[in-house]
Amino acid sequence: MVEKNHRLLIPAGGGCIGVIKIGKYFLTPLLFVDTTLSQLEVIMSRVFAYCRVSTTEQATENQLFAIQKAGFEVTNDRCVSETISGSTEAMKRPAFRAMVEHSLEKGDTLVVLKLDRLGRDA
């Protein structure tokens, strides 16, 4: 049973197909090559961005810049950033979990720069 209905947008070239299960939530990735279509799709929902880095020597600003450059309007209060290993399960990351459980609502769109920002195999 899917408890929430969120969309995950990965800018063209992000390389993702299918449904991503994070804990008890399912995210449906949508790949857009046509930026006009992505703009129409996003206009109907609130847009959030998730940016993750693994070490304190890295910064998330470049990820947010690339997402915005791809045409997604993300306000500062809807950009979630954290410094945590990609091998940590997504729902065990404090900022990601808080966003999914308390900020995202049905119909909202979550944008990540690349699929590996959500996680990877250890």
- Measured from the Cβ of residue 23, the count of other Cβ atoms closer than 10 Å reads 14
* Residue among 38, 45, 54, 85 flagged as catalytic: 54
Phi-psi region of 23 (alpha: psi -120 to 50; beta: other; left: phi over 0): left
**Active site annotation includes 54:** yes
Classify residue 78 by its DSSP letter. Answer: G
**Catalytic residue positions, numbered:** 54
